[in-house]
Amino acid sequence: MNARSVSGRATPPRSATVARLPLSSRASALGCVGVCGYLIGVALPVSPTFDLPLVFLVLLATSAAIAGLKQPTLSRSLAVIPVLGFATARVVSSLVTPDARSFQFLTPLLPALLLFFVLSEWVDTRQHVAAICVSLTVAGLLLAATLLTAWWLSPNSDADVLASVTPNPMLTVKNDITAVAVLAPLALAAALVWPRRLVQATAAAFFVAMITVIAIVRSRTALLTLIVAIVAFALLTFGRRSTRARSVLVMLAGIAVLAVAVDALGGFPFAHKVAADWQGSGRVALWAAALAMFRDAPVLGHGPNTFVLHYRAYLDALQLPAWIHVDPRVTPWAHNLYLELLAEQGIVGFLAFLALGVTGLWMVRRTILSPDRQLHYLGAGVGAAFIAFLTAAFFELSLIRAWVTIILFTLLGLLSALTRSAKGASTCAAS
């Protein structure tokens, strides 16, 4: 075909056009609806006895698989191998340890795996990825609003008690607000890709609610995660449009001002906590115990979810110096996902998780290099969230909390879908 269209109008050169992706498929649409419904459902402020969001996801995933049989076979995601390797490592580690607590990982791992495979196998358009980013923004807003409501109804409650009494099983301790901070770049990406008033208003409400909750519960981990997430998004989008990056940096300054203002209203308790408790509520002692556990079982560890059973005995045996603070409360996790994996699953589990991280970062690189502007912003949003997740893993995350596994596998699934779309866009541009 020449440089003119059927109507006689001149068309721009291929190099100046935005690569067009395949039209929405029925399988992709069904998968998108299932994922969005599940993510919003688990964030609702209810504690049901029946897991209705999971049933909804299973039904829509099955429908997507049936519909997908009628379309051309999609290229398989590179992340499938490390994801299955990570799941296998947890199973093997559980089988070689006699404690029944090791099998609790099945609860969050099953829906997380289903989310990953739906995203990586069936969701194949940027519009559906953007819709899932919007649903995650709504889910984060619901979680933050749940904590805000609980605080409003009982303003004198302790932060940890406040989180534990919320009707949402995803919120058990105050630092669970870190899950919302990880999602911050997805809200920015959704607002850029879908610049509609409703989406932008939802993103704005998300940030206001999240920053207010962080200041109220005084979660340093959530604040650090939020800062890393915003900076990573600014850096990943820099080069596409520098004005966008500057706008994100201005937003970061606004977040800092709002956080200080909210903290000032309460007499600066957040600032005092940061200055006084530099060890992070006994984290150094917990890390030392985790390393000691790893030395005793370096290959397969002591079993998933068993840190709480052994760390106190290791702390007593270590005889730590007096300047290291030891929290007298029972702490179920090591406050460092990497050390937790070494202690509970040994080098096998640690390397399996490391493979997930490397694969995810490789997919981030692939997506942000896409010539398509929307794919670039979506890749930057999901990539920044993934970087924020890996950063928060150094200080807080634990696989005993369901949302950690669910968010990890959701981000990997989104990166898989974006990588496939970016490959298709590059193919269209080259043809």
Name the DSSP letter for residue 73: P
Q: Which distant-in-sequence residues (6+ apart) come within 8 Å of 31 by Cβ?
A: 60, 61, 64, 118, 119, 121, 122, 123, 128
Six-digit token pair at 1?
């075909």
Q: In this predicted structure, what is the pLDDT of residue 242?
A: 46
pTM value?
0.85
| Residue type, position 84, single letter | L
Which region, left, alpha or beta, applies to residue 239 given φ > 0 means left and ψ of -120 to 50 means alpha? left
Residue range 71-109, pLDDT digits in tens: 555 556 778 899 999 988 888 887 776 665 556 666 788
Strand, helix or coil at 259? Answer: helix
pLDDT of 151: 79
Question: Could you tell me how far CA 335 lies from the centroid of its own chain?
Answer: 17
**Structure confidence by residue, pLDDT tens digits, 328-360:** 777 888 889 999 999 999 999 999 999 999 999
Quote the pLDDT of residue 148: 85
- Ramachandran area for residue 196 (φ above 0: left; ψ -120 to 50: alpha; else beta): beta
Indicate the burial class of 143 (C-beta count within 10 angstroms; 0-12, 13-18, 19 or more): buried
Q: Which residue has the higher pLDDT, 14 or 261?
A: 261
Helix (H, G, I), strand (E, B) or coil at 48: coil
What count of other Cβ atoms lies within 10 Å of the Cβ of residue 103? 16
Taking a C-beta distance cutoff of 8 angstroms, is the pair 131, 24 a contact? no
Say if CB 199 and CB 129 are below 8 A apart.
no
Q: Which residues contact 158 (CB under 8 A, 6 or more apart)?
A: none
DSSP 335: S
Q: Give the residue, 431 or 292, on which the prediction is more confident.
A: 292
- On average, the pLDDT of the chain sits at 79
**Model pLDDT for residues 144-192, shown as the tens digit of each residue:** 998 888 878 776 556 666 666 676 777 777 778 898 999 999 999 999 8
How confident is the model at residue 14, as a pLDDT?
Answer: 37
pLDDT computed for residue 415 by the predictor: 94
